[in-house]
Amino acid sequence: MSDSQFSSKLLENAINEFAKLPGIGRKSALRLVLFLLRQSNEDVNNFGNAFIKLRNEIKYCKCCHNISDTEVCGICANPKRDAKTICVVENIKDVLSVENTQQFHGLYHVLGGVISPMDGIGPSDLNISSLVERVCTGAVNEVILALSPTMEGDTTNFYIYKKLIASGASVNVTTIARGIAIGDELEYADEITLGRSILNRTPYQENNY
Amino acid sequence: MSDSQFSSKLLENAINEFAKLPGIGRKSALRLVLFLLRQSNEDVNNFGNAFIKLRNEIKYCKCCHNISDTEVCGICANPKRDAKTICVVENIKDVLSVENTQQFHGLYHVLGGVISPMDGIGPSDLNISSLVERVCTGAVNEVILALSPTMEGDTTNFYIYKKLIASGASVNVTTIARGIAIGDELEYADEITLGRSILNRTPYQENNY
């Protein structure tokens, strides 16, 4: 679309801002802007300010580096959570994914990425030293490594494992189980996953889900 | 998703605001918010303020009711446009669609909807009287009715036609051509469209596109 067609610079500017978002093209952007124009001034003020406020006031938890409104995030500050278990994840989205399962009641540690020499991300760019410090306080029994099963994830797992051993802390290091996803068919599973799921077989339980 | 999972109210609020937009679910909203968090403060301020500014400062052109930054929109104020021809459209999006064709060089008149008793929209809810006033100045030769070919659109066309005749203004009233869309196959065209396209056949031109 050429610029000249818009009768309003304000409209054009708003469309451009929406179109900067991933997965939103100029046609969708126009549709969203026209939707906002039909809302009340107050609603649109709330809409715009929600992002400005988020960006300007957001903090990262000084314990787990999760996104937070306060110095220490709600999860770390919750006395009901098991502070002896730390789940190491790549990013904030993964915290939400694990929380969604409602199967984990410990604390988190957000690395902020994985070691990836191709992208120029080394161990010093990640929140690894603060993880070692947390573990070295002695208050942690188990560190669960919950990174993606990629080359980079495995490298990062190995690096963290070595660092924790080297620190002399007495802590169990575990990784989340790899295997056939629930609902998947064996026929379509890749060999490595199927092989690992046989090696890491678990005792049969009646309510395994 | 339950509320409890978010470690930050600011994050949750921003996600909720995005999820209010049509076609954006909570998963997409989270993705967009995390994208914004990776942008600079300035970029996010510009993002949020673009919509607030648009909503608070936008005006509607007092001639054609198109969206505008000023009292009179860029199209109406442009001396190069043919002020003798007015194209009547349903909404702002339709102005953009017609402008995109680059085939129309006259002015517009945005009705703000079509007559639809089912939705409680009567002629008095639309910008019809101001259209009649514009035509009655005598400066208009032709009014092109470019509404959607629906029952409501046809009803509105008829109402406007009657009003213009009743006003005593000497003006040609035309409608945009209905027919087989370019690229469509006759086999799949509906009978009414095909029938009308035969009735309204046009002289053969070498460059008909």
What are A66-104's pLDDT values in tens digits? Answer: 988 889 988 999 999 999 999 999 998 899 888 888 889
What's the whole-number average pLDDT of chain A? 88
What's the 3-state SS for A45-101? HHHHHHHHHHHHHCEECCCCCCEECCCCCHHHHCCCCEEEEEEEECCHHHHHHHHHH
Quick one: pLDDT at residue B36?
93
How many inter-chain contacts (A to B, CB under 8 Å) are there? 166
Residues of A in contact with B30 (CB under 8 A): 93, 96
Q: Which of B6, B43, B54, B103 to mutate to test the interface with A (most CBs of A within 10 A)?
A: B54
Q: What is the pLDDT of residues A179-201, one digit of tens each?
A: 888 788 888 888 888 888 888 88
pTM summary value: 0.73
Residues of A in contact with B66 (CB under 8 A): 7
> Which residue among A13, A37, A46 places its CB closest to the CB of B50?
A13
Quick one: pLDDT at residue B87?
94
Residue A104, phi then psi, degrees to nearest 5? -120, 130
Characterize the bridge pairing of strands B106-110 and B142-145: unpaired
Q: Are residues A50 and B17, on separate chains, in Cβ contact within 8 Å?
A: yes
> Which residue among B41, B55, B100 places its CB closest to the CB of A5?
B100
Given a contact cutoff of 8 angstroms between Cβ atoms, the answer to whether B208 and B177 are in contact is no
* Among B135, B192, B194, B197, residue whose Cα is nearest residue B161: B135
For residue B168, the distance in angstroms to the closest alpha carbon of chain A comes to: 32
Counting as low any pLDDT under 70, the low residues of chain B are: 1-5, 206-209
Quick one: pLDDT at residue B2?
43
Q: Which of B4, B5, B7 to mutate to test the interface with A (most CBs of A within 10 A)?
A: B7
Q: What is the pLDDT of residues A22-45, one digit of tens each?
A: 999 988 998 999 899 889 999 999
Residues of B in contact with A110 (CB under 8 A): none
Residues of B in contact with A12 (CB under 8 A): none
HSE, CB side, 13 Å, CA atoms: give it for residue B126: 27
Q: What's the pLDDT band for A2 if we cut at 50, 70, 90?
A: very low
Contacts of B80 (CB under 8 A, 6+ apart): B105
**Whole-number Å distance between alpha carbons of B197 and B179:** 5
Q: Are residues B95 and A7, on separate chains, in Cβ contact within 8 Å?
A: yes
Residue A111, number of CB atoms within 10 A of its CB: 24
Q: What is the pLDDT of residues A108-120, one digit of tens each?
A: 999 999 999 998 9
Q: Does residue A4 have a pLDDT over 60?
A: no
AA letter at B159: Y
**Whole-number Å distance between alpha carbons of B120 and B107:** 29
Residues of B in contact with A23 (CB under 8 A): 28, 31
AA letter at A70: T
* Among B147, B181, B49, residue whose Cα is nearest residue A52: B49
Quick one: pLDDT at residue A93?
87
**Whole-number Å distance between alpha carbons of A22 and B32:** 7
Mean pLDDT of A152-176: 91
Q: What's the pLDDT band for A208 if we cut at 50, 70, 90?
A: low
AA letter at B104: F
Quick one: pLDDT at residue A1?
41
